[in-house]
Amino acid sequence: MSEQVLSAPTLPRAQSVNIRGATLRAIYIIWKRDLIRYGRDRMRLLASLAQPILFLFVFGSGLSSTLRGTRGGFGGPGSSLQYVQFIFPGIIGMSVLFTSILGAMSIVWDREFGFLKEVLVAPIHRSAVAIGKTLGGATQAMLQGLVILILAPLVGVKLTFVGVVELIPLIFLFAFALSALGVAVAARMRTMQGFQVVMNFLMMPMFFLAGALFPLGGNLPTWLAVLTHLDPASYGIDALRRSVLSASGVPAAILDKLGLSLFGSPLSIWTELAVLIAFGVLMLGLAVYGFRQRD
Amino acid sequence: MSQPVISVHDLVKTYGKVEAVRGIDLEVGAGEIFGFLGPNGAGKSTTISILCTLIRPTSGVAEVAGIDVLKDPSAVRARIGLVFQDPSLDGQLTGRENLDFHAYLYGLPAATRRQRIDDALSIVELTDRAGSTVLTYSGGMRRRLEIARGILHYPQVLFLDEPTLGLDPQTRNKIWDYLHAVRTREHITIFMTTHYMDEAEFCDRIAIIDQGKIVALGTPAELKSKVGGDVVSIATPDMAGAAEQLRTVMHLESTQVDGTLQFEVPDSSSFMPRLFSELTVPITTVSARRPSLDDVFLKLTGRAIREQSNTSLDTMRNMGRIWGGGRR
């Protein structure tokens, strides 16, 4: 049974494996799959606006009126900055944070439902899975963050075209760092039971510590100030706030006073971006390592 | 078999003290459909996982497409197709998108990608449904799509682990039609595991594995000739007495299977009159048939191969089937 079959001439059987080229293609298709799924899930797009709306218009407006009563504006005497405007960049950050981490968690779903096996047995480098999933998660989170900008006019935040264009790489970097963190965690998770743990011990603390809802530059207790500085999301949200609000006409002095500072001097947006890049690259390394170790 | 596509020598896999595979030797030739048959836990999945480079063997040599699975697992993976026991499709992608994903992972050339996907879809007759999400597919359709995906990158060997598990008999037969079509069209070697004895008849050769060892290897006809003659089963209220009389009066060894006594005779039609005249215990029913592979397994191992009650793993698998395409 073999001779004529073995020499079947028309079939282009795999001869040599070009792992590098294969890995790049794999990164692309893993990223593309995430986007196809994202685009197909219309409900998720709608649902993703619900939480920001609650925060901005119920929580934000509620507190705004109280805070206005005590002081001239949220930025201090003489400032016209409203609380709801202050948290607006924070809510973009929240959206990016949640989408990034949840997007990375889809790896655990894939593992549970068997699809991950299809990827892991392919003749590609395992890093493709970590990189592809990080980029896929980051792209989704970036889109989710940008969607929140639709609400800007409703809270009195003015956007300029240039401002929005500048926001795109900023949000993407933020989303990349958080997605890499999510993938690094998800690579080590076997079951969906760990999911609640991630929600309660990673996502929520990161959100609350990031200064999305209160200024990090205030007189925080030392322990809290230390924790907020350890939260990578703090740097992303502060960078978002500087970018969005300064474009909207809030003076840099007020932003410095409200924002993240280290040893008394306010951090520049570039320092914050550098922190995000360093954190993202470190996490991506851990994610790649996680996938090489297991399975 | 001039050049085996799969060759395995003294393969051993132990998990702590548990010996899952205890010294397996086999060779599979190009273009063969080779069945790996045995009850749950016999070592089938472990062996197939070693051949697919998913598990490292404890000792022994395994070569697939002429490549050692330990020395160059990536090269082996590029040359094999896999259909897993558990579903591994993305339910939110369409059939075509699932194949496209695979085509990229395995580096199909861009120029022929679309054509190849069309061909693979047509082999398993899913062309019409290629644009629907896999969520809307039946269990049989999902399996067919997985077969199309398994052959997409022109592998030399297609491995299937229990490809018909959980499918109804009609769908199972259709899957076999597709596998035979794939073999003919793609000149591919097919290596599969199953614990359905009747399915093994579709294979060119089968290996029967029990407790980590191959107990028989050959064509279905060869294996059945090991049983010799016909299989007679009788039901009687006095099992022990009947077995005793068969042994002393007729010199026949019988085995108790599902409340009947089974034994082999060279020719059942001339045996029946003797049975009734020489046995004094009451007999309620008698039947005789040609031997099946179940009988071969029974003869070789002294046990019937049968569906075990669902283990928790099976239950989870079934849930996986139900939820597998579900929203995630």
Give the start-to-end residue ranges of the domains of chain A.
22-69+79-293
- Residue B315 pLDDT: 52
Q: What is the pLDDT of residue A195?
A: 77
Mean pLDDT of B95-116: 94
- SS3 string, chain A, reads CCHHHHCCCCCCCCCCCCHHHHHHHHHHHHHHHHHHHHHHCHHHHHHHHHHHHHHHHHHHHHHHHHHHHHCCCCCCCCCCCCHHHHHHHHHHHHHHHHHHHHHHHHHHHHHHCCHHHHHHCCCCCCHHHHHHHHHHHHHHHHHHHHHHHHHHHHHCCCCCHHHHHHHHHHHHHHHHHHHHHHHHHHCCCCCCCHHHHHHHHHHHHHHHHCCCCCCCCCCCCHHHHHHHHHCHHHHHHHHHHHHHHHHCCCCHHHHHHHCCEECCEECCHHHHHHHHHHHHHHHHHHHHHHHHHCC
In a domain? residue B263: yes
- Alpha-carbon gap: B227 to the closest alpha carbon of chain A (Å): 27
Interface mutation target, options B27, B105, B184, chain A, most CBs of A under 10 Å: B105
User: Domain residues for B30?
Assistant: 6-223
Asked, for residue B299, whether it belongs to a domain, the answer is: no
For residue A57, is pLDDT > 50? yes
Examine the domain organization and report whether B71 and B202 are in the same domain: yes
Residue A74: other Cβ atoms inside 10 A: 22
Please check the confidence at residue A287 and state whether its pLDDT lies above 50. Answer: yes
Q: Does B38 contact A at CB distance below 8 Å?
A: no
**Whole-number pLDDT of residue A141:** 95
- Within a domain: residue B313? no
Contacts of A140 in chain B (CB under 8 A): none
Judge whether A262 is closer than 8 Å to chain B, CB to CB: no
- Give tens-digit pLDDT for A144-200: 999 999 999 998 898 888 889 999 999 999 999 999 999 999 998 888 888 778 878
| CATH number, domain with residue B116 | 3.40.50.300
Of B36-40, B46-50, B80-84, B321-325, minimum mean pLDDT range: B321-325
Q: Which band of pLDDT confidence, cut at 50, 70 and 90, is reported for residue B326?
A: very low
Query: Is residue A208 predicted with pLDDT exceeding 70?
Result: yes
Name the closest residue on chain A to residue B100, using Cα atoms.
A29
Region for B259 from its dihedrals, namely left if φ exceeds 0, alpha if ψ lies in -120 to 50, beta otherwise:
left
Q: Choose the mutation target among A4, A7, A13, A292 for the interface with B, i.e. most B CBs under 10 Å.
A: A13
In the prediction, which pLDDT does B218 show? 92
pLDDT in tens, B247-288: 888 888 888 888 888 888 888 888 888 888 888 888 888 888
In a domain, B53, yes or no: yes
Same domain, yes or no, for B207 and B256?
Answer: no
How many interface pairs between A and B have CB atoms less than 8 angstroms apart?
A: 114
Provide, as residue numbers in chain B, all residues whose Cβ is less than 8 Å from the Cβ of A33: 90, 93, 97, 101
Residues B33 and B158 in one domain: yes
Minimum distance, in Å, between the CA of residue B56 and any CA atom of chain A: 11
3-state secondary structure of B89: coil
Q: Which CATH number belongs to the domain containing residue B269 in this structure?
A: 3.30.70.260
Q: How confident is the model at residue A73 (pLDDT cuts 50, 70, 90)?
A: low
pLDDT interval class at A9 (50, 70, 90): very low
Residue of A nearest to B324 (CA): A113
pLDDT reading at B170 higher than 70 = yes
What's the pLDDT at B266? 82
- Looking at the partner chain, which of B75, B186, B204 has a beta carbon nearest the beta carbon of A11? B186
Q: Is residue B14 part of a domain?
A: yes
**Does residue B30 lie in a domain region?**
yes
Question: Which of A283, A284, A280, A276 minimizes the C-alpha distance to A260?
Answer: A276
Does B321 score more than 50 pLDDT?
no
The rounded percent of chain B whose pLDDT value lies above 70 is 92
* pLDDT score of B319 more than 80: no
> Between B328 and B207, where is the model more confident?
B207
For residue range A238-268, list pLDDT tens digits in order.
999 999 998 888 888 888 888 888 877 888 9
Show residues of chain A in contact with B92, CB under 8 Å: 36-37, 40-41
Kindly determine whether residue A8 and residue B187, on different chains, have CB atoms separated by under 8 Å: yes
Minimum distance, in Å, between the CA of residue B101 and any CA atom of chain A: 6
- In the sheet that holds B205-210, the strands lie side by side as B80-83, B157-161, B189-194, B33-37, B205-210, B213-218
Q: Is the domain of B216 the same as that of B158?
A: yes
pLDDT score of B76: 93
Q: How many domains does chain B have?
A: 2
Q: What is the per-residue pLDDT for A78?
A: 65
Position A133 scores a pLDDT of 96
Residues of A in contact with B106 (CB under 8 A): 14, 22, 122-123
Q: Any idea of the CA torsion for A55, A59, A61, A62, to the nearest 10 degrees?
A: 170
Determine whether the interchain pair B90/A40 forms a contact, defined as Cβ–Cβ distance below 8 Å.
Answer: no
Do B187 and B235 belong together in one domain? Answer: no
Are B40 and B187 within one domain? yes
Using a CB–CB cutoff of 8 Å, tell me whether A6 touches chain B. Answer: yes
B100 assigned to some structural domain: yes
CB contact, 8 Å: A192 with chain B? Answer: no
Last residue of a domain, one of B200, B223, B246: B223
Clarify whether residues B78 and B211 are in a common domain.
Answer: yes
- What does DSSP say about strands B189-194 and B157-161: parallel, antiparallel, or unpaired? parallel
For residues B121 and B32, membership in a common domain is answered with yes
